[in-house]
């Protein structure tokens, strides 16, 4: 690491650059990036899915959010890199507050969004310098090539809606914004629109591509031609014109003459600069279309959760029978993967499984390695957060498992988390409500005991796409986008005691219209995840009768839905695990 940092600083000195920005992002501003774009990990050893480094000529600062503070401190050499929580200081504020003698900041225009560029450009007395070629790429001698996995057609029996119908709806969206076209940088948006998938990105069935939709004229897609099988080209020929990415400048010269929408949060400044002066800044017009799942998609998602629930229940029954010292965090994650692989429709994990035992469970996005993996050999809590990709849905579920005898403190804190989970799951809210307005429901009982957690309560989830999908979310910051029927979100409050244990209870929920007669339109949640919640960790004295009833009803649904698909031993375990309080 020392050699890498020193070499990069030497290049900056040659170019008279005082600071260089190294984000964990790619041209799509996505969470999971292809191996060729893992520049932050290459430079710092930090492998989290969010973070940004500022490389100065005499030091390096790494900024991470609350999910990754503990992880960064474990992975990064503190003698070489200063770790700064984003909650305490933004990168721009660090430069101002430290009164650093910075006059020039270098950046890769493919890796900086229009929105982020504006915040950096606002720094007084500083000149931003674009790098045509990222300097890390010249130092990274064994940098992987970009993937060339073939594009696949997502069968209409799963997609449910034809491309022509989706395009017609998209043209209506352009009309509403008085736009002639829209830049679509998010690979998942294009995959959803064109009913295609691939395996270019880890844990997400996405294609390495982007495009421009022109009203009434289809989609111009920038993609390496070697990824396009003849059958796919024929399937898309009525809707798509393909272009090699090397023709980007020439193609965008034509687009610069029309009114074109860009999403400033995901469109790189490299693209924005080529769009001319008639730019309309608005959210990706496909984002809301794919966020609000159709009845067909919701039906598939329920089937995916049934399969996933069977696998997870087999795992939960198995984990309670293991011998001490027989398993590690790595082997139990492999066992869960094996249970999911029993389904012929399983397409892989939706993210790296988090299996954190004892103090490792307190690291929110922990991922076990050979060096860090604990052996399951004591009485403590095991936090398992995992998910699967299926052609008819994406899952994400967390359950906290009690191995041995729980302490009263663990039971109390688990129950406080459960109360927040139940309050959110039971909530009734008026149309127009945002996730930020609901977030307090999940935190209320924790707050009353002076406790909290440093991550959002709920993220959107895609349909055989990204496990983390916008624009909807439930968090303190929230999103200006109101929750709408068909949206899928996670419900995942937690509590983490550093050096001791972690607790999280996560199920996916779908927003739906509430049944009943009300003065105004009301919405509620349908819980989709099917997996028992550990009853041994519940302090029943803290639950009201209403909360007891919700848990009993949920466990009854889990039991009746899953029992027909389980072997006798697992079925017997599930009956005991879902016994009424």
Q: What domains appear along the chain, each with residue ranges and CATH number?
A: 2-139 (3.40.350.10), 152-287 (3.40.350.10), 292-568 (3.90.230.10)
Q: Residue 529 has which token pair?
A: 């995840």
Which contiguous run of DSSP H or E holds residue 192?
helix 187-194
Distance CA 161, CA 192 (A): 10
Query: What does the DSSP assignment read for 272-324?
Result: HTTS-S-EEE---HHHHHHHS--HHHHHHHHHHHHHHHHHHHHHHHHHTTPPT
Read off the tokens for 336.
Answer: 């869960």
pLDDT at 394: 98
| CB-side neighbour CA atoms (13 Å) of 107 | 27
Cβ burial of 145 (10 Å; 0-12, 13-18, 19+) is exposed
pLDDT of 98: 75
Predicted pLDDT of residue 323:
85
The Cα 524–Cα 326 span in angstroms is 43
Residue 277: what pLDDT? 84
- Of the candidates 161, 146, 155, the one whose C-alpha atom is nearest the C-alpha of residue 197 is 155
8 A C-beta contact, residue 222 and residue 188: no
Task: Give the span between the Cα atoms of 314 and 544, in whole angstroms.
Answer: 30
CA distances (Å), origin 467, targets 144, 145, 263, 389, 508: 25, 25, 20, 9, 11
Q: What CA–CA distance (Å, rounded) separates 578 from 204?
A: 33
Chunk the chain into consecutive blocks of 10 residues (it has 581) and report each block's average pLDDT, rounded to whole numbers. 91 93 94 93 91 94 86 87 90 85 94 94 93 94 96 97 97 96 97 98 96 95 96 96 91 86 95 90 96 98 98 97 90 98 98 96 89 90 98 98 96 98 98 97 98 96 97 91 98 97 98 96 98 97 97 98 98 97 85
Alpha helix (H) residue ranges in 89-162: 91-97, 114-121, 135-139, 156-159
Q: Identify the three-state secondary structure at position 244.
A: coil
Q: pLDDT tens digits, residue range 199-248?
A: 999 999 999 999 999 999 999 999 999 999 999 999 999 999 999 998 88
Kindly report, residue by residue over 108-132, the tens digit of the pLDDT.
999 999 999 999 999 989 999 999 8
What integer pLDDT is reported at residue 73 of this predicted model? 86
Residues 6 or more apart whose CB falls under 8 angstroms from that of 155 comprise: 391
Which residues, listed in sequence order, are joined to residue 382 by a DSSP beta bridge? 357, 401
Q: What is the pLDDT of residue 97?
A: 81
Of the candidates 316, 486, 512, the residue with the CA atom closest to the CA atom of residue 397: 316
Task: Name the pTM for this structure.
Answer: 0.93
Are 272 and 262 in contact by the 8 Å Cβ rule? The answer is yes
Output the six-digit token pair for 330: 């790595």
pLDDT of residue 448: 98
Spatial contact of 438 and 509, defined as CB atoms under 8 Å apart:
no
Residue located via tokens 């994650």: 333
CB 327 within 8 A of CB 321: no
The CA distance from 241 to 218, in Å, is: 8
Q: Beta strand 469-474 with 458-460: parallel, antiparallel or unpaired?
A: antiparallel
Which residue(s) pair with 384 in the sheet? Answer: 355, 399
* Residues 543 and 533: beta-carbon distance below 8 Å: no
Of 57, 51, 50, 3, nearest in space to 31 by CA: 50
Determine the length of the chain: 581
CB 314 within 8 A of CB 571: no
């Amino acid at each position: 690491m020392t050699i890498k940092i020193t070499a990069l600083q030497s290049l900056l000195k040659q170019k008279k650059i005082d600071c260089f920005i190294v984000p964990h992002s790619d041209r799509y501003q996505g969470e999971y990036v292809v191996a060729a774009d893992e520049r932050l990990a290459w430079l710092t050893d930090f492998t989290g899915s969010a973070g940004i480094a500022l490389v100065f000529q005499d030091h390096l600062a790494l900024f991470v959010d609350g999910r990754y503070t503990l992880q960064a401190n474990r992975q990064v050499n503190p003698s070489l890199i200063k770790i700064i929580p984003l909650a305490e200081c933004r990168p721009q504020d660090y430069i101002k507050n430290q009164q650093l003698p910075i006059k020039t900041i270098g950046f890769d225009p493919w890796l900086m969004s229009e929105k982020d560029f504006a915040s950096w450009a606002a720094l007084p007395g500083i000149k931003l310098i674009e790098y045509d070629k990222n300097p890390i790429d010249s130092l990274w001698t064994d940098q992987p090539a970009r993937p060339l996995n073939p594009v696949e057609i997502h069968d209409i029996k799963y997609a449910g809606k034809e491309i022509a119908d989706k395009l017609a709806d998209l043209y209506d969206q352009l009309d509403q914004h008085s736009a002639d076209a829209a830049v679509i940088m998010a690979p998942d948006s294009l995959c959803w629109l064109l009913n295609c998938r691939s395996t270019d990105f880890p844990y997400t069935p996405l294609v390495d591509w982007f495009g421009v939709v022109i009203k009434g004229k289809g989609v111009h897609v920038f993609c390496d031609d070697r990824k396009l099988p003849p059958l796919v080209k024929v399937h898309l020929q009525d809707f798509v014109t393909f272009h090699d990415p090397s023709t980007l400048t020439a193609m965008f010269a034509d687009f610069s003459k029309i009114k074109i929408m860009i999403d400033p949060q995901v469109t790189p400044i490299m693209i924005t600069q080529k769009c001319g002066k008639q730019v309309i800044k608005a959210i990706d017009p496909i984002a809301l279309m794919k966020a609000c799942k159709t009845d067909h998609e919701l039906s598939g998602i329920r089937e995916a959760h049934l399969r996933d629930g069977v696998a997870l229940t087999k795992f939960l029954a198995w984990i309670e029978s293991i011998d001490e010292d027989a398993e590690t965090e790595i082997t139990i994650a492999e066992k869960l993967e094996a249970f999911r692989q029993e389904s012929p429709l399983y397409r892989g994990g939706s993210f790296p499984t988090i299996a954190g035992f004892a103090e490792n469970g307190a690291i929110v996005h922990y991922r076990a390695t050979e060096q860090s993996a604990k052996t399951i050999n004591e009485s403590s809590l095991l936090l398992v957060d995992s998910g699967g990709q299926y052609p008819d849905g994406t899952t994400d579920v967390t359950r906290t498992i009690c191995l041995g005898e729980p302490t009263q403190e663990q039971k109390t804190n688990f129950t406080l988390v459960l109360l927040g989970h139940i309050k959110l799951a039971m909530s009734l809210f008026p149309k127009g409500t945002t996730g930020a307005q609901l977030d307090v429901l999940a935190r209320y009982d924790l707050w009353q005991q002076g406790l909290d957690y440093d991550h959002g309560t709920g993220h959107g989830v895609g349909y055989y796409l990204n496990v983390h999908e916008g624009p909807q979310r439930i968090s303190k910051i929230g999103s200006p986008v109101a929750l709408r029927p068909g949206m899928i979100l996670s419900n995942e409050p937690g509590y983490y005691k550093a050096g001791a244990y972690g607790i999280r209870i996560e199920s996916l929920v779908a927003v739906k219209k509430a049944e009943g007669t009300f003065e105004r339109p009301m919405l509620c949640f349908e819980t989709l995840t099917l997996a028992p919640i550990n009853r041994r960790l519940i302090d029943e004295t803290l639950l009201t009768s209403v909360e007891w009833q919700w848990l009993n009803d949920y466990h009854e649904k889990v039991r009746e839905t899953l029992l027909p698909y389980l072997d006798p031993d697992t079925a017997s375990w599930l009956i005991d695990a879902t016994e009424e309080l």
